[in-house]
Amino acid sequence: MAVDILLEGVSYIAGSLPGTWMVDLQSVSVDLDIALQQPRASFVVRIWDQAIPRPMAGNEAVFLGNAGEREFGGILAQVEETEIEPTIMEYRCTCADYTKWFDRHLVRDTFQAQTAGALIQSIVATYVNTPGNSRTFTTNNVAANSPVVPLMQWVYMAPSQVVGQLAQMTGWGFYIDDYRDVHFYPTQQFQSPLPLNTLDADDLYSNPTQAGGTGEGVYPDWIDLDISEDVSQIKNRCFVTGIYVASQSLFQETKLGDGVTTVFTMGYQAPNDVTKITVSVGGTPYQIGLDFINSTPGGTCQDNVAYVNFTQQTIRFCTAPANGAQIVVAYYPMLQTAVMQENTQAQALMAARDGTDGIYEYNRMDPSLSAELPALANQRALMTLYKYAYPYMSLHFRSYLQGWRRGQWFYLSSARRWDGAYQSANGTQKPFYVTRVQKRIIQAIAGVWTWTYDVDAASVPFEI
C-alpha cells in the first residue's frame, strides 16, 4: 500500500481511472495539537464528470501513510464546492477528528469510586457504543493501572469532556486516535520513532555525513532543531479557594410535614454523595435518589424515596409527608475552605536566577472541586505545580521518520546545546513530550510520496 486518501473506504487519489479525479497531495495537511484537542486535516480534490461520488460532510476520512498505516482518521466536517469547468468540480475539504461521533450522547449518571480507566470503559460502553451504532470505539489503550478517582457525578456532559476532566485530575494523557481507539495513559507510555528514543542534537556536529541520525532512505531523522525557554507561566505556590469540604461532624435537622408540601430545603449544602445522607419520615428510613436524574418533578417517582438535589439543597418526596410527620435529615455539612501546595525546589531554582525569594503564588478559585474530602482540590493544585512550577522548555524540529503521534515522548541529549545541560554521558538527558504534530505530504526521490512532520515537544506533556 502507499499514501492515499479514503472517504468511506473509497480512494480519492487518481489510480484506476487516470485523469478522472485527483487529490492535490500538496494540499494535504494534518494538525494534531494535544492542548486544543481539536485535530484538523484538509485537502483539495477535483472530480471530472462525476466519476466518483462527491465528498460529503459526515463521511469518514482516512489518510494512509507509506506502509498503509493511518496518518489521520476522522470525519469530513466541511466541504466547499467550486466550479472549475462545467464538468469539473473542485472540493475543498476540512476534517475533524472522531470526537463528534464520540460525543453523540451526553453522560448523566453518578459513578462510585473506582479506577479512572474502569470509569472510562463504562462511559464508552454505555454512552458511546450505543445499540444500532456502527461507528463504535475501542478502549484498548485505556491503561488498566490508572489512578482511583472518588465518587463522581456528571449531568448532561459530553463523554470527551468527562474523560478530559479525569485527565486533568490524574495528570494522565487522553486522546482518541486515528482508529477510534481511546487513549488514557501515563505520560511516558508511548515512545517516539527516534532511534533509541533519543534526539541526539550532536549528530550532525559529530558526523556531518550522518544527516541527523539513521534516516529513512535519503532523509534525516530530524533537522532544524530550535530550543526555547519560558518563565512567563511560573507558578510554584498554588492556592485553591472557593471550595467546600464536608465537615467531620454529623449534622441533623428536622422538618415537619403538612400533608401538602413535597419539597423541603436543607439548611446547609450536603456532600454530593447519596451514601452520605440519610432521610427518615415518621421514623421510617427512606431510600435516597437523585432529583432530575432518578426522577423528575411531575414524572414517575416512588414512595419511600427521598430525591435529593445537591445543587439546590432540596429534598423532594413523591407523596407529601403526613401533617405533623417528622422528617429527619442527617448529613455532613459542606464548609468553605482553601488548600495550598508548593514546590520548594522550584522556588529555590527561581531564587537563584532572579534574586527574589523565588516564590510565585497563584490562586485558582474553583467551587467545582468541592467534595467530601479536599483530595480533588489538592490534586488540582499539584497538577498546576506539575505544569508551571519550573521554566517551560520547548523544542521544534522537522522529521522524516514515519509514525510521529501526539502523546509520544523522547530524550534530548546534547553536550553543546543549552550549555550542555542535557548530556547523555552524565545521565542528564531530559525527557520531552510531543505536544503537537503537523504533517504534510512531500514527493521523495523517484517520485514516491511520503509524509514529513513538524514536531513540537515540551518539558511537560502540556502546552502553556
Write the pLDDT tens digit of every residue in 312-323. Answer: 999 999 999 999
Query: In one letter, which amino acid is 198?
Result: T
State residue 449's pLDDT score. Answer: 76
- The three grid cell numbers given for residue 438, joined into one nine-digit string: 503537523
State residue 199's pLDDT score. Answer: 93
What are the pLDDT digits (tens) for 44-85? 998 888 778 889 999 999 998 877 889 899 999 999 999 998
Long-range Cβ contacts of 120-127 (<8 Å, 24+ apart): 120/163, 120/166, 120/182, 120/184, 123/159, 123/162, 123/163, 124/159, 124/182, 127/159
State residue 317's pLDDT score. Answer: 95
Q: DSSP secondary-structure letter at 18? A: T
State residue 258's pLDDT score. Answer: 96
- Select from 194, 209, 224, 185 the least CA-distant residue to 424: 194
Q: What is the pTM of this model?
A: 0.71
The residues pairing with 408 across neighbouring beta strands, listed in sequence order, are 190
State residue 209's pLDDT score. Answer: 62
Distance CA 364, CA 242 (A): 8
Q: Phi then psi for 412, rounded to 5 degrees?
A: -105, 130
- The three grid cell numbers given for residue 324, joined into one nine-digit string: 405533623
State residue 156's pLDDT score. Answer: 92
**Alpha carbon distances (Å) from 72 to 5, 167, 407, 435:** 9, 23, 15, 16
Distance CA 341, CA 287 (A): 39
Digit-by-digit pLDDT tens for the chain (464 residues) are 478 889 999 888 865 455 566 888 888 999 988 665 678 899 999 888 877 888 999 999 999 887 788 989 999 999 999 999 888 899 999 999 999 999 999 999 888 888 999 999 999 999 999 999 999 999 999 988 888 887 788 889 999 999 998 987 787 888 899 999 999 988 777 899 999 999 999 887 777 665 455 444 556 788 899 999 999 999 999 999 998 888 889 999 999 999 999 999 999 988 888 888 999 999 999 999 999 888 888 888 898 999 999 889 999 999 999 999 999 999 999 888 999 999 999 999 999 999 999 999 999 998 877 777 788 788 889 888 988 999 999 999 999 898 898 889 999 999 899 888 888 776 778 899 998 999 998 876 566 778 889 999 999 887 66
Orientation angle between helical segments 159-170 and 116-123, nearest 10 degrees: 180
Distance CA 378, CA 86 (A): 64
State residue 26's pLDDT score. Answer: 82
